[in-house]
Structure 1
Amino acid sequence: MTYKTVLATSAAALLLGSGAAIADTWRYAFEEAMDEVQGKFAQKFKEEVEANSDHEIQLFPFGTLGESADTMEQAQSGILQFVDQSPGFTGALIPEAQVFFVPYLLPQDDAQLASFFKNSKAINEMFPPLYADQGLELLTMFPEGEVMMTTTEPVEAPADLDEVKFRVMTNPLLVESYKAFGATPTPLPWGEVYGSLQTGIIQGQENPAFFIESTKMYEVTDYITRTGHNNFTTAVMANKEFYDGLSEEDQAMIDNAISAAFDYIIDYQKGLTEESLDKIMEAKPSMTITDLSEEQRAPFMETADSVEGEFLEIGGPQAQAILDQLKADLAAAAEG
């Protein structure tokens, strides 16, 4: 057991022990800081719940209760009532959720993206039973921003990723995606990424611009490359036993709070990417930001079919149905 695990276990034990004394306090953990996208969503959710009920929401940003694996265990066991976690970390639990890592599947248009996440039958009808099988009530999924590569050397083609040790989340399909791109994918917990880049253990990682800026990943890399290959997706869940045990009134209140937080976070992200890139350049003028042309993106896009095929192999028994419905939902969003 690592020191971090001991700390996380101790914190969880304290929370569990305090549960009876504060029956109306609900605990919500997420993978980012309070001033990052998941934190902003959580704060809006808290505001809505507390304004429309007698319940209180206690928020736990990244690191306060351990790594992502720790908070997922705590949510499944009922220590946490709510958790926000990317499908990148739940791929082993819910293999179908890896579909969000098929490159070039999601649109780059923000309005289409928001419409898709809000109205998708795959997300709203097909995924909830899969999460329920893991003791989780899927409340919503939402996009967090265009994923960009940050590297120590320039990237303009897949050949530039040859032998580059590229940090990825512990997600089998994301590993396959970066293999297809030509890199050497290296799964690492988030807490180890900065130090690994600093010491040269890895030479690249991917994240939205706001996260690259707020976590100062630009300090240990020199290039940001916009390949347009994905948008970071996250999911907000409740412990299912907790949620099912609530009154219909409380369930409706939570659902309304989630809906309000979804609309808020979509609006909050408008212009966030460019604002974050401007902050990075202000902090480090020597940083090189490259937006690949359609011609330069073409070799990366050509890998999508092979990664999609891999998803159908490892994405669970409903992989084909999920993928087909997702594509139908995306087409509907494109039509407006």
Structure 2
Amino acid sequence: MGSALASDDNHKFNLALESGDRDSASGKSMQMWADLIREKSDGRMKVNIFYQGELGGQQELFDQLVKGNIDMMLTWPQTSYDERLGVNYIPYLTLGWDDALKAYGEGGWLKEIFGPLYKDIGLKYFGPYPEGFGGVATKGKYATSYDQAVEQGLKVRSAPVFPLPQTVQAMGFQAVPIDWNEVYTSIQTGVVDGDSSNVIYWDYEYFRDQLDYYVHTKHNFSSYALLMNDDTWEELDAFDQAIIEDAAQQVINKQFVDAKIEDEKWIKKAQEAGMKYIEPSAEDMQVWVKKVREEVWPIAEESLGKEIMDEIRANASVPK
């Protein structure tokens, strides 16, 4: 943000989380953001934090952020204002943590796509708050390749968010869109053989008595967005903008490290509890990446547009 003159302005901001309480990882991260802003501004800027459920649901909060009734928010990208924000859910954009950091980090190619999209709906995008790479967790049988998934006839739950069902289907599984609160019963009664697209934490913590295997397909990179109402942002002088943006970047960089460590911790916990953790071979991953990109990316282009998809094709990770 450059070298701006110090500011004398005082500000109070309301920051909302769509999920996570005060003691959650996201809650602690938002407290860190608020603390950094207060400290770097010598107390001139204060941030009031509202946790999950305190101000409303996900879509309601996003609406209030766009209107400026909420100043800042940590949320999943909402496609209700612009379908192009669905770029966050495009499969196999990045294939590892290093690639994800390069894509989403400061000056990263994917961050450069997100910024203007959020700007168009009146929001300032600071960057992603990553959770990790998703996989496929199943009961009784598993698949580490497209052919195995087809042969086994594996039915797995998918979040009903485009293009996750289409992605799982292209991987050879039978995708069954099911809301989160129905997943346990669906696995228990055999409606599906398992769950998909979550980091192992969710499958271990919520369904470990039902699931036997976790195959780390890494077909999606799960991340929230750190946002601010753009009118509120533009009213700030350059000095205060720099404080807020630098603090946000510290939170994001820390979360990239913490999320990887947290994911590795839960992988170990799941293994210790008897869940078998499996990484597909490089050859099988290459087949999945190629097939999913060939089938799902053209569908996504209908919503995202050719310009964005051309950028994705030019910069997406190369399978090794």
TM-score scaled by length of structure 2: 0.79
Q: Quick one: distance in 2 between partners of 1:130 and 1:251? A: 20
Match of 1:322 in 2: 308
1:99 aligns with 2:87: yes
1:251 aligns with 2:241: yes
| Cα distance, 1:199–1:67 mapped onto 2, change above 3 Å | farther
Match of 2:294 in 1: 305
Offset of residue 235 of structure 1 = 1.4
1:227 aligns with 2:217: yes
Q: Quick one: distance in 1 between partners of 2:196 and 2:270? A: 16
Which structure shows the higher helix fraction? 1
Match of 2:6 in 1: none
Q: Quick one: distance in 1 between partners of 2:107 and 2:151? A: 36
Contact 1:31-1:62 at 8 Å conserved across structures: yes
1:177 aligns with 2:167: yes
Match of 1:131 in 2: 118
| Cα distance, 1:186–1:66 mapped onto 2, change above 3 Å | farther
Match of 1:4 in 2: none
| Cα distance, 1:205–1:160 mapped onto 2, change above 3 Å | farther
Deviations 1:190-247 (A, max 9, x none): 455456555666542421234445x534344333221132321321111222222233
Deviations 1:77-111 (A, max 9, x none): 33321122233xx2343322323433222121x22
Offset of residue 322 of structure 1 = 1.8
1:151 aligns with 2:141: no
Of 31, 34, 44, the residue aligned with 2:32 is 44
| Cα distance, 1:167–1:61 mapped onto 2, change above 3 Å | farther
Of 53, 58, 67, the residue aligned with 1:77 is 67
Q: Matches of residues 186-265 of structure 1 in structure 2 within 5 Å?
A: 186-188=177-179, 190=180, 193-194=183-184, 197=187, 203-213=194-204, 215-265=205-255
Identity of aligned residues (%): 21
3-state DSSP class of the match of 1:172? Answer: coil
Contact 1:147-1:209 at 8 Å conserved across structures: yes
3-state DSSP class of the match of 1:271? Answer: helix
Structure 2: runs of 5+ lacking an equivalent? 1-9
Deviations 1:19-58 (A, max 9, x none): xxx9724223143455555334323212211212333323
Contact 1:137-1:240 at 8 Å conserved across structures: yes
Match of 1:289 in 2: 277
3-state DSSP class of the match of 1:216? Answer: helix
TM-score scaled by length of structure 1: 0.76
| Cα distance, 1:111–1:172 mapped onto 2, change above 3 Å | closer
Q: Quick one: distance in 1 between partners of 2:229 and 2:316? A: 29
Structure 1: runs of 5+ lacking an equivalent? 1-21
3-state DSSP class of the match of 1:267? Answer: helix
Amino acid in structure 2 at the alignment position of 1:259: Q
CA RMSD in angstroms, aligned pairs only: 3.1
1:167 aligns with 2:167: no
Contact 1:166-1:205 at 8 Å conserved across structures: yes
Q: Quick one: distance in 2 between partners of 1:274 and 1:176? A: 28
| Cα distance, 1:191–1:39 mapped onto 2, change above 3 Å | farther
Match of 2:266 in 1: 276
